[in-house]
Amino acid sequence: MTISVGDTLPSARLTKVTAEGPEPVDSAEYFKGRRVALFAVPGAFTPTCSARHLPGYLDKAGELRAKGVDEIACTAVNDAFVLGAWAKQNGAEGVTMLADGNGEFASALGLDMDGSKYGMGKRSQRYAMVVNDGVVESLEVEAPGEFRVSSAEHLLTLL
């Protein structure tokens, strides 16, 4: 079952990328007490994710914060070291990277996908959501192969 607006985020293991190294976090605990714009990409260093998705959130970070977002976070079914390298290459200091190395979070949300046809294995669908104190306030899931509703620009229109 796919998570919906009004649902509380489930508990799943994530790894936060920090300057001191990977930090394990529980998703249910991590999102409590703040309003987070969370976007998911199928993979770091992939074309749309690198050229449009992450840069859009970096460009619109100030506008998102001005609309009441406390934190901007990105998740992908990659390990913390890959997400850390991707963040560094893109100058993404303003975006918290949450690695979902085993796809547990994507599966718990019902937003996982099978990318085996492309040699990628199990991944996350591309989506964006606003999570307010652990509860899904808005959720925008992309149709396969598209990039529109999960963009920072679109998310801004919903805030």
CA angle 8, 14, 16 (to 5 degrees): 115
Please give the model's pTM, rounded to 2 decimal places: 0.93
User: What class is the 13-158 domain?
Assistant: alpha beta
Chain position carrying tokens 């994507």: 106
- Examine the pLDDT at 62 and tell me if it is beyond 80: yes
92 close to 117: Cβ distance less than 8 angstroms? no
What is the mean predicted confidence (pLDDT) over 142-156? 92
Instruction: Give the DSSP H/E element, type plus range, for residue 83.
Output: helix 80-90
What is the mean predicted confidence (pLDDT) over 37-54? 84
How far, in Å, CA of 66 to CA of 85, rounded? 28
Active-site annotation holder among 49, 80, 129, 155: 49
Active-site annotation holds for 49: yes
Count CA atoms closer than 13 A to 153's CA, side-chain side: 6
How far, in Å, CA of 3 to CA of 31, rounded? 15
How far, in Å, CA of 83 to CA of 74, rounded? 9
% of the chain exceeding 70 in pLDDT: 96
